Each structure stands twice: as C-alpha cells, then as structure tokens.
A and B are shown apart, each in its own frame.
Chain A
Amino acid sequence: MARALTTADLAALRRGIRRRRAGDRLFALLGWACLTAALLVLAALLVDLAADALPHLRWDFLTSFPSRRPERAGILSAWVGSLAVMGVTAAAAIPLGVAAAVYLEEYAPRSWITDAIEISVANLAGVPSIVFGLLALGVLVYGLGLGRSVLTGGLTLAMLVLPIVIVATREAVRAVPFGIREAAFALGATRWQTIRHHVLPYSLGGITTGVIIALARAIGETAPLVTIGALTYVAFLPASPVQAGWPFLSFQWLADPFTVLPIQTFNWISRPGAAFQGNAAAAGLVLMGMTLLMNGAAIWLRHRLRRRVRW
C-alpha cells in the first residue's frame, strides 16, 4: 500500500507539471520564431529587391532592348522571349502531361511497363534542372539540330515541368469519385466518353492549379536555358507569329534565338557596376511579380476548390 501524498509531494508534483508545461510554451514560441524567421527572410528579399529596383522601373524599361548603357537598357526582348518560350512549354507539357496522367489513372494495366512509367515520372521529378539543360544540349541542339531556338528552350522547360503536370493531374483525376464513372458506364458510355465528358471536366480545377504551378516554375528557371546556350544579349524580337500575306500565321519565331527574363537578370547581375545591378533588380522584380502572382493564383484556386467541391 502506497503512502498518502503529503502537501510537500503535491507541491513537488505541481512544480514538475509547471516546468513541463513551460517546455510546451517555450517550444511553441520557438516554432513561431522559426516560421517568422523564414517569412522575414522572404520579406527582406522583397523589400531589398524593390528598393534596388524601383528607381529603374520606368515604362521605358519594359519597352527598350538591352543596351551597353545601363540607363537606356530594358527588358523588351526578355519578356517577349519569356512569353514565346512559355507558349511552347505550355503547348508541349500540358497535353502530354494530362494525357500521360489520364492513361496512368484510367487505363494502365498493372504491368512492368506501367511500373517503369511510374518510376521514371518519380525519378524525373528529382532530376536537377541543369541536367535537363545538358539533355537538351545533347539531344535537341546537337542531336536533332534545333539550334538555340525558342523551340529548344520551350521543349527543355516542358521536359522539366512534365512531372509536375502529371502528378497534379493524377491527383485531380483520382479525386473524382468512382460512382460518377460507374453511372456513365451504366448509361453505355465508353471509357473515353466517360473521361471526356465527366472525369476531365470535374478535375479541371485541380489540373489548372498544377499547370499554373508548373508554368510558374518554368518561367523562373535559368540554369537549363543557360546550358543550351540561350543568348545573353538579344536586341531583336522573334519573328511575329502573324504575318500580312497568306497563310497569315508564321512559325518562323520557333527557330529564332531568344533570351528570357531570368537570363537577362543573371546577365546584369554578373556585370560590375551599380547601374546594371539596379537593372538586374528591376528585371528580377518583374520576374518575381510574375511568379508570385502565378503561385498566388494557384494557392487561391486550390483553396477555393477545397471549399467548394462536395461530392
């Protein structure tokens, strides 16, 4: 039989509990400090960049070509190049990625080929981006002879973001309840009709989120494009996709050399002199604005979907 607790024992117990509770509060504080520190760094980065950038961010900056004289230099060829490259990336990565994801979720039999596809998608997601640059240099630039063109740049980034599109699409497709497919099948719809009219429309939100995140990633990528030898000084625009005479559409721009915002930024950072670094900050701020806007849109979309969809 244990002896009864004395007041002294109780006091000791309470002290112990208080001490351990204090540990709780201390860790909570530490957790807050860590989160705040990380977010403060983000804030410091934004403020520092904006402070360096604002004096240089005039309208001319968006409508001028790069120049040897920093005060006249602009990012016209860079943001047009970024748009052109993004167009190719989107045109290649979205259909391929969505198709691959639909195949894996809706069709794929259990076989070693399916396993190999699964493993390769997971593996590609972990490959450093610069290795995609080496791949593009070896295969697209020299192997297929596509040169250092908009097409090469776009395809390089498409390969890089393909796993992101595939993974996001698979999750979105998987979230569509099985009952909906069964209902469509029961009415005599074929597999593709079911996917085309039901599964894809319902998962469109999730797919869009993934696509935006993928393109935000692609637009900020520098290393793979530097590796394929994208030019760092481009004082011209790619050929216009619209032309006066028949057939009115031109694909000449796909074969044109290009630069993009991250490369232009990198080029200016590596030059000595505060003036060019101000330009780098301004270009970086424009770039960051674009990626943060896209990431923000994706986060908002995801949040909205989670709240709205009730199966």
Chain B
Amino acid sequence: MRGLGERAIEAGLGLAALTSIAITLAILYVLASESVGFFLVVPVGDFLTDTMWTPLFADAHFGILPLLCGTLVSSGVGLAVAVPLGLTSALYLSEFARPRTRELVKPFLELLAGVPTVVYGYFALLFVTPLLQRWLFPDMPGFNLLAPGLVIGVMIIPYVSSLSEDALRAVPMELREAAFAMGATRLEVAARVVLPAAFSGVAAAFALGLSRAVGETMVVAIAAGQQPNLTLDPREPAATITAYIVQVALGDLPHGSIGYRSIFAAGLTLMVFTLAFNVAAWGLRRRFREAY
C-alpha cells in the first residue's frame, strides 16, 4: 500500500512538471493557429515588405516593418543605456568593490527590476520626456521613442549587471593572480584578463537584456505614442510590436476578425525575435561555462 501511495505522489509531481511543457506547446499552438488564419488573408511577402501597418483602417496595410523599426529603436536606445552602465557596474562590483559594498549595493540595484512597468511608463511620459524637451530637444513631441528607450535601459540594468557579474566572478582566481604577479593594475586585470575570459557570459547578459527590451510593453505603450511609424529617429513617436498588441486589446475586436488575428501574427514575430536572443544567450553561456 505504501508503495502505491508513493507512486501516486510521484505521478502527481510529474504531472505538475509536465504543465510547463503544456504551456509551451499551448503558446506555440495559439500563436501558430491564429497566425495561419492571418497569413491566409495577408501574403507573407506583404507582411515582410509593406511599409505601412494600418490593419484597422478601411485601406488596410499589413507591413510589420514600422512596428519592427519602433521595437528595434526603443530597444537599441535601451541597450545603449544598459550595456555601458550595467557592464561598468558589474566590473566595478566584481573587481573593485569590497564585499560589504557589493552586499549593500546589489539589493538596491535589484529593486530597479522590481518597479512595476506601468510606473516606469508614467515616469517616461511625465518626467523624462519633459526633461529632455527642456534641456536637449525642444522640438521633440510629447510621445517619442527616446524617453521610453532610456527608461527601459534603466530598467534592464540589473539584468545586464547581475548576469555579467556572475560571468566575471566565475573567472578563476589564478588568472587574476597571474596577471597581478606580472605587475598589472586592477584595471588592467579587469579589462585585459577578466573581461575577455568572461566574454561569452557577458555577451549572453547583453542578449538577455535585449530580449527583455524587445518584449517590454507598458513603457512604450504609454510613452511612445502608439502610431506605427517607419523611422529610425528615436525622437519621433512610433509604435512597437508590444504597444500595438496593447492598443488593439484595449479596443473591442470581434473574435476571429483579421484585426484580432493580426495581434497573434505580431506576437509570433515578437516570439521569433526574443527566442533568437534567448537561444543566443543560452549558447553563449554554455560556451563560457565550458571554457575552464
């Protein structure tokens, strides 16, 4: 009897573990099945090359490029903030700071990732944009990609810095000791020995940060303007893939309409990009683990 109960429990726990596979498959199924409905109406060629995204207008165009541009510009701005700040912080915390400083600073840095994104959106729209308008770009419109991009950058600093720091700290102490024995200074050890040795891990941190930035929704939905706009200028208003999904979901689209299906096609595009970045990060991290 005891063996039976044990096996029942094992089976139950196993079933719980299987739900993660079920959720993954359900995501793939939902995105694929609704997108198939979309691509039966909209040719894939148009989707990839048309320069207008106006699925809800009478004259409907379904070119993903404007949304893709918006997404890449806001993520690019975000990465331009998060990479230098995150990497410098990581190098400082792992190679320069005393253990006490590190213990004290890291939790506060982690809080940056804990701020609700809707609050970041508020901050981007009503604090960062007016600040930029006053000091740097007086002609910049109230909705733009720059402010949300900068705020996304701040938001993903902890992701970039803590993963980079893990990679830097995993570099064996002997390498540092050897370099110090040759008379290298801390900075030389950090920049010429530790950083190159941890390169793939640091690059993985960047890839994960990029994946976060691409998938970030509320900041851009609030502060970027929700107008599809084929531009590479971060000072212009534009929509991202995620912001478009939010915009459509706020309206009341009939189930099964082409507009309804378009958010799944947009979601599939988003998935393809984040999946690529996540796989890249995973591969890079595995390489850096095998280095020693």
Interface of A is mostly: helix
B245 within 8 Å of A by Cβ?
Answer: yes
B234 within 8 Å of A by Cβ?
Answer: no
Q: How far apart are A85's CB and chain B's nearest CB, in angstroms?
A: 14
| Contact assessment for B13 and A103 in the assembled complex, using a CB-CB cutoff below 8 Å | yes
B41 within 8 Å of A by Cβ?
Answer: no
| Contact assessment for A295 and B6 in the assembled complex, using a CB-CB cutoff below 8 Å | no
Q: How far is the CA of A20 from the CA of B2 in the complex (A)?
A: 70
Q: How far is the CA of A42 from the CA of B18 in the complex (A)?
A: 39
- Which of A48, A190, A223, A229 lies in contact with B218, CB distance below 8 A? A223
B270 within 8 Å of A by Cβ?
Answer: yes
Chain B residues, Cβ within 8 Å of A223 = 117, 217-218, 221, 242, 245-246
* Range of interface residues on A (Cβ < 8 Å): 35 or more
Chain B residues, Cβ within 8 Å of A131 = 27, 31, 215, 267, 270-271
> Smallest CB-CB separation from A223: which chain B residue?
B217
Q: How far apart are B17's CB and chain A's nearest CB, in angstroms?
A: 4
Q: How far is the CA of A310 from the CA of B201 in the complex (A)?
A: 31
- Which of B97, B107, B263 lies in contact with A134, CB distance below 8 A? B263
A31 within 8 Å of B by Cβ?
Answer: yes
A157 within 8 Å of B by Cβ?
Answer: no
Chain A residues, Cβ within 8 Å of B270 = 128, 130-131
A57 within 8 Å of B by Cβ?
Answer: no
Chain A residues, Cβ within 8 Å of B127 = 44-45, 48
Q: Mark B249-279, 1 if CB is under 8 A from A, else 0.
A: 1101001000000011001001100110010
Residues of chain B in range 170-217 having any CB-CB distance to chain A below 8 Å: 185-188, 190, 208, 211, 214-217
B92 within 8 Å of A by Cβ?
Answer: yes
Q: How far is the CA of A120 from the CA of B26 in the complex (A)?
A: 12
A21 within 8 Å of B by Cβ?
Answer: yes
A163 within 8 Å of B by Cβ?
Answer: yes
B154 within 8 Å of A by Cβ?
Answer: yes
Chain B residues, Cβ within 8 Å of A122 = 282
A117 within 8 Å of B by Cβ?
Answer: yes
Assess A222 versus B118: contact at CB under 8 Å? Given A27-B190, A100-B17. Answer: yes
- Which of A44, A96, A123 lies in contact with B19, CB distance below 8 A? A96
| Contact assessment for B23 and A159 in the assembled complex, using a CB-CB cutoff below 8 Å | yes
| Contact assessment for B112 and A269 in the assembled complex, using a CB-CB cutoff below 8 Å | no
Q: How far apart are A238's CB and chain B's nearest CB, in angstroms?
A: 21
| Contact assessment for B6 and A49 in the assembled complex, using a CB-CB cutoff below 8 Å | no
Assess A103 versus B31: contact at CB under 8 Å? Given A123-B24, A124-B23. Answer: no
A87 within 8 Å of B by Cβ?
Answer: no
Chain A residues, Cβ within 8 Å of B252 = 229
| Contact assessment for A226 and B249 in the assembled complex, using a CB-CB cutoff below 8 Å | yes
> Smallest CB-CB separation from A141: which chain B residue?
B255
Residues of chain A in range 264-291 having any CB-CB distance to chain B below 8 Å: 265-266, 269-270, 277, 280-281, 284, 287-288, 291
Supply 21 A–B pairs (Cβ within 8 Å), ascending by A. Answer: A20-B188, A27-B92, A27-B190, A37-B85, A38-B109, A96-B19, A100-B17, A107-B14, A117-B18, A127-B27, A130-B217, A131-B267, A135-B30, A138-B30, A220-B115, A223-B217, A223-B218, A227-B245, A228-B249, A229-B249, A288-B119
